[in-house]
Amino acid sequence: MTDQGKFARFLISLSAVIVAGCALTVTIKVMNTDTEAFYPPRLLDQEAVERQAAVTARGPKKPSRDGVECPAAMEAKEGNEFECKVWIDYNQKTVTVEVIDDQGRLSMQAS
Output the pLDDT for position 61: 82
95: β partners: 84, 110
Output the pLDDT for position 27: 82
Quick check: pTM over 0.85? no
Contact 45, 75 (CB under 8 A): no
Element containing residue 85 per DSSP (H, E): strand 81-88
Output the pLDDT for position 92: 92
Output the pLDDT for position 85: 95
Element containing residue 28 per DSSP (H, E): helix 2-31
**Which residues in the chain come in under a pLDDT of 50?**
none
Output the pLDDT for position 35: 60
Output the pLDDT for position 93: 92
